[in-house]
Amino acid sequence: MGLRSERGPILLSLMLSTALVALDATIIATASATIARELGAFEQVPWLFSSYLLAQAVSTPLAGRLSDIVGRKRAILAGVGLFFLGSVLCGAAWSMGALVAGRVLQGLGAGAVMPVSQTIAADIYTLEERARTQGYLASVWAISSVVGPTLGGVFSEFLSWRWIFWINVPLCLLAAWMLIRRYHESPLGGRREPVDYVGAALLTAGSALLLLGLLEGGTSWAWLSAPSIAVLTVAVVLLAVFARHVRRVAHPILDLRLLRRRVIGVATAISLVVGMVVLGLVTYVPIYAQGVLGFGPLLAGFALAAMMVGWPLSATNAGRLYLRLGFRLTAMIGSALVVLGTASTLLLGADSPLVAVMGTTFLVGTGMGLTAVPTLIAAQSSVDHGIRGAVTGVNIFARSLGSALGVAVCGAIVNSVATVGPDGTPSGPDLMDAIRLVFVVVAVSGVLIAVLAVFLPADRQAARERRAAGGRDAAG
């Protein structure tokens, strides 16, 4: 692509941008009670999380595709800018409504930062180096998952919860300055494609309603209630209209025909199921460690942190494997570890030691690093620079959709079996039975990942598909 920049500082700026997104996904958790007491409207607290995740998921595929059209630098700077504005609004929020609005802006910015940062890494690093850079980006999530809640508690107890957001202001400015100074991309050649505004509107509205229905179903309203049925029905209709629309336009905002390529379709399906597994464990392992095993929040966090440590460790070394064995075999090895780890959760009980829980989640994380990262890189490598952002955006969006599905399915199971207290946390003697059913869902999902990995095309077959599609690996 003719980049005239130093890759090290660019990677640091991408890691800093990713850290902003990762921290704000978790940092508010320990401060939500304090925020509710100051601003009131305790019933709106869940929207501090849902609005962020919803906006992030919806903007991800759009930002990925727009980075192909207007350039990576403009797209990621726009994302950092939206995150900056959202942080300022959150820090100055005078009501819960204003705080939720700021979280929406933060989510929109996060949805641009995530796919574009990974696409830039794919652009400027060779195939041999990409697994290591993806491992570095994954390590940011691992560190943030542990540091985020801790920082949130420190700020809310010793300073003010508003510092959770004000701290983002200098970090956003630093990330933007580093990108402007260090990252230079060649001008886009040829005629710029028109932006498919109609498709973008249909995809945004349909995806937002679908995710809203999945996140709020069984929580804010019953699954078979009128609001739930109405939201999900309208979502399906809008997405069906979008699918019809993209077949009629020359340059759709998201070309669904990409999913017909086997490597992209399978990688996207794997990403969706990965989201289900990860959110199932992230949500309910801490509840299991506290509500069943009786550990405090800190030790319960260690049980989950083991997964977040295993993921970047294996992802960093995945490059050695897929260069020697190929993407398909590497993903099959990783998915086998995922199956082993998720199956091990079925052996956990009411008196399991914490080290057993940590070992189980570490095994799942190690398998994920050898599955999620190589399949994403395989999908990126199967297309040329002009649509790599779109492919990355779709992959990350699939994981967000899978996360929403995981929350919906596991939440419905737990709510139907365990007693849910006034604070929305499941408890009571039936909690272990509910958690065991969640682990069954996680284990079945792990097996599904392994089955999908088998359907990845061998590297030679993927190369033939790529040549047939007229693609080329611009960064390899």
Q: What is the pLDDT of residues 269-305, one digit of tens each?
A: 999 999 888 888 877 887 788 777 887 766 777 777 7
**Residue 465 predicted with pLDDT over 50:** no
Of 44-48, 225-229, 321-325, the one with minimum mean pLDDT is 44-48
Looking at residue 428, its pLDDT comes to 61
Angle between helical axes of 262-291 and 372-381 (0-180°, round to 10): 160
**Residue 107 predicted with pLDDT over 50:** yes
User: Dihedral of CA 209/274/351/286: which sign?
Assistant: negative
**Residue 388 predicted with pLDDT over 70:** yes
Looking at residue 166, its pLDDT comes to 86
Give the integer Cα–Cα distance in Å for 259 and 391.
9
DSSP collapsed to 3 states, 330-356: HHHHHHHHHHHHHHHHHHCCCCCCHHH
Q: Is 419 helix (H, G, I), strand (E, B) or coil?
A: strand
Looking at residue 50, its pLDDT comes to 72
Count helices and strands (H / E) in the chain: 18, 2
Which of the pair, 469 or 113, is modelled with greater confidence?
113
Burial class (CB in 10 A: 0-12, 13-18, 19+), 191: exposed
Q: What is the pLDDT of residues 10-22, one digit of tens each?
A: 888 888 888 888 7
Residue holding tokens 């402007």? 180
Looking at residue 276, its pLDDT comes to 87
Looking at residue 427, its pLDDT comes to 60
Share of the chain above pLDDT 70, in %: 84
Residue range 446-466: average pLDDT?
75
Looking at residue 164, its pLDDT comes to 81
Highest mean pLDDT (candidates 76-80, 134-138, 147-151, 430-434): 76-80
**Residue 379 predicted with pLDDT over 50:** yes
Looking at residue 335, its pLDDT comes to 92
**Residue 439 predicted with pLDDT over 60:** yes
**Residue 73 predicted with pLDDT over 70:** yes
* Structural contact between residues 52 and 203, judged by C-beta atoms closer than 8 angstroms: no
Which of the pair, 351 or 161, is modelled with greater confidence?
351
Residue range 377-392: average pLDDT?
81
Residue holding tokens 């958790």? 29
Give the integer Cα–Cα distance in Å for 142 and 400.
17
Using 50, 70 and 90 to split pLDDT, how confident is the model at 187? low
The architecture that CATH gives domain 1-182 is Up-down Bundle (1.20)
DSSP collapsed to 3 states, 135-171: HHHHHHHHHHHHHHHHHHHHHHHHCCCCHHHHCHHHH
Residue range 396-411: average pLDDT?
81
Residue range 86-92: average pLDDT?
89
**Residue 259 predicted with pLDDT over 50:** yes
Angle between helical axes of 32-39 and 96-124 (0-180°, round to 10): 140
Mean pLDDT, the chain, integer = 79
Q: Which CATH fold topology does 254-470 show?
A: Growth Hormone; Chain: A; (1.20.1250)
**Residue 471 predicted with pLDDT over 50:** no
Tokens of 79: 């994302």
The CA–CA distances, whole Å, from 462 to 36, 144, 360 equal 52, 35, 33
Looking at residue 146, its pLDDT comes to 63
Looking at residue 185, its pLDDT comes to 73
The CA–CA distances, whole Å, from 93 to 85, 98, 159, 357 equal 12, 5, 16, 39
Using 50, 70 and 90 to split pLDDT, how confident is the model at 192? low
Residue holding tokens 């107890």? 157
Share of the chain above pLDDT 90, in %: 13
**Residue 340 predicted with pLDDT over 90:** yes
Give the integer Cα–Cα distance in Å for 200 and 306.
38
Q: Residue ranges per domain, the chain?
A: 1-182, 196-252, 254-470
From the list 437, 426, 51, the residue with the least C-alpha distance to 216 is 51
Instruction: Say whether 254-470 and 1-182 share the same fold.
Output: yes
Reported residue count of the chain is 476
Q: Which residues contact 198 (CB under 8 A, 6 or more apart)?
A: 245, 249
Looking at residue 190, its pLDDT comes to 53
